[in-house]
Amino acid sequence: MTWQDGPRLPVSAAGGFAASLPGEAVYAGGTCWRTGAREYLDAANVYRWSSNSWHTGPRLPSGLAYGASVVTRGGMEILGGADGKASSRKCWRLDLKKQAWLPCGVLPRDVVLSRAEAVRNEIYLFGGAKDSADLTTCTAEVIVR
């Protein structure tokens, strides 16, 4: 397989949340360095396969990065992360029809830099850390919902 450049994101970003949904992909949140300091993004960008282009999606409730994302039967979910001041335990589900991020739970502990997978009707959240600036807080724990 050969890699090739695709349409660029509307803003340079890293540490965001990505998901492939029917007919489109979503990249939400993340961080960038537009102002000379790390900025946590609340933007959600939707890539439509049919038009090969990015469109603006609903904004996250606040700037968020370094959490996990997963696709469930209900759509894209964001699990935890950080906002630049603290870790977040909040979980959000994208509702593209309502153009909104809806609350869908709270994690039992702070989690950043983890990985999530949906298996049958459960979500598994693997590892991660309490603080992205302190990797001595990494864990081997698995959380299941």
pLDDT in tens, 37-80: 899 999 999 999 999 999 999 999 999 999 999 999 888 999 99
Share of the chain above pLDDT 90, in %: 82
Tell me if 94 sits within 8 A of 28, measured CB to CB.
yes
DSSP 3-state of 28: strand
Nearest to 132 by CA among 117, 116, 114, 115: 114
Q: Judge whether 105 and 92 are in contact, CB under 8 Å.
A: no
Predicted pLDDT of residue 131: 86
* Segment 95-122 mean pLDDT: 92
Q: Has residue 113 got a pLDDT over 80?
A: yes
Q: What's the length of the chain? A: 145
pTM: 0.91
3-class secondary-structure state, position 71:
strand
Residue boundaries of the structural domains of the chain = 17-107
Q: What is the mean pLDDT of residues 72-96?
A: 93
Q: What's the chain's average pLDDT?
A: 93
- Residue 134 sits at φ, ψ, to 5 deg, of -135, 90
**Residue whose entry in the numeric block shows the structure tokens 């890539």:** 47
